């Protein structure tokens, strides 16, 4: 279980100061009781507006399996909007058990997911489907947090009409067709980072205070790397390194303005 979650325990005093448009990310680390104790004793003003964001990369997709063997396989139409692999389904089950046992499911106010099949499968199965009978947070699909756009068929989505039939639990609210993905142009790292910062600032428009984000390796990598993190370089490298499939990380942000 621990190896599948791949949470990296940095050290007991692994607080992080991050300036994001006048706001601070003050804590970073794995999801556990210790984080809760640290946040309660971190010295932040109780009146300050806080936002805890739980970042989760989707479980393993069939394109991940093929891409590890031959990266050029990601160009194949066979992997259009790739679903989870058998191992990915097992990772989802393990994570579902974890969020239930840890109490995380009860604390999450909102789940935001990329509108790609593998991310929505991960989000719905972990945080509860309508058929589960469990109380669940609302799930919203947002285009801003999808994977790097263009060229790779695995990163192109289906129509919203198709998705609504597959995932009645998810709130969709944009154009039916995928107008962002281009067959002949791959999104640059700078463009992903800009989109990621726009997404992070959009999070502050939400009233919910504890939000889970289910997204993708490149989006999470370039978004976190774009944040002006003020900390030791070794700690920054831990925060910004690429997510493994089904890996969870948490950020606590405080509005100091």
For 74, counting Cβ atoms within 10 Å of its Cβ (0-12 exposed, 13-18 middle, 19+ buried), the class is: middle
- Per the residue annotation, which of 27, 125, 147, 187 is the catalytic one? 147
Q: How far is Cα 247 from Cα 5, in angstroms, rounded to an integer?
A: 5
**Which of 179, 178, 183, 161 shows the shortest CA–CA distance to 170?**
161
**DSSP state string for 10-70:** --TT-EEEEEETTEEEEEEE-SSHHHHHHHHTS---TTSEEEEEEEEEPPPBHHHHHHHH-
| Residues 6 or more apart in contact with residue 142 via CB below 8 angstroms | 112, 113, 114, 115, 199, 202
The DSSP symbol for 84 reads: B
Residue 5 token pair: 């979650």
Pairing between strand 248-255 and 49-57? antiparallel
Q: How far is Cα 76 from Cα 153, in angstroms, rounded to an integer?
A: 7
Torsion region of 81: left, alpha or beta (phi above 0 gives left; psi -120 to 50 gives alpha):
left
- Per the residue annotation, which of 58, 63, 152, 216 is the catalytic one? 58
Strand, helix or coil for residue 190? helix
Is 58 catalytic? The answer is yes
Pairing between strand 170-171 and 139-141? parallel
Catalytic residues: 58, 147
């Amino acid at each position: 279980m621990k190896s599948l979650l791949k949470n990296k325990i940095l050290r007991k005093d692994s607080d992080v100061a991050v300036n994001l448009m006048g706001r601070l990310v003050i804590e970073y680390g794995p999801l556990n009781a210790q984080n809760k104790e640290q946040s309660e004793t971190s010295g932040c003003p109780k009146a300050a507006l806080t936002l805890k964001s739980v970042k989760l990369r989707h479980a393993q997709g069939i394109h991940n399996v093929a891409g590890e063997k031959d990266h050029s396989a990601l160009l194949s139409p066979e992997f259009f909007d790739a679903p989870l692999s058998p191992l990915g389904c097992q990772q989802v089950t393990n994570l579902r058990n974890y969020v239930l046992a840890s109490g995380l499911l009860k604390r999450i106010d909102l789940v935001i997911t990329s509108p790609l099949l593998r991310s929505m499968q991960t989000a719905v199965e972990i945080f509860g489907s309508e058929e589960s009978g469990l109380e669940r947070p609302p799930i919203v699909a947002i285009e801003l947090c999808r994977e790097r756009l263009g060229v790779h068929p695995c990163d192109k989505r289906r129509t919203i009409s198709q998705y609504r039939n597959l995932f009645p639990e998810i709130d969709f609210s944009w154009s039916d067709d995928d107008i962002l993905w281009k067959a002949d142009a791959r999104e640059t790292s700078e463009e992903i980072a800009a989109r990621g910062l726009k997404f992070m600032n959009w999070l502050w428009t939400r009233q919910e205070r504890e939000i889970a984000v289910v997204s993708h390796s490149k989006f999470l990598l370039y978004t976190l790397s774009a944040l002006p993190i003020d900390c030791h370089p070794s700690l920054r490298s831990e925060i910004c390194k690429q997510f493994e499939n089904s890996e969870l990380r948490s950020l606590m942000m405080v509005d100091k303005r």
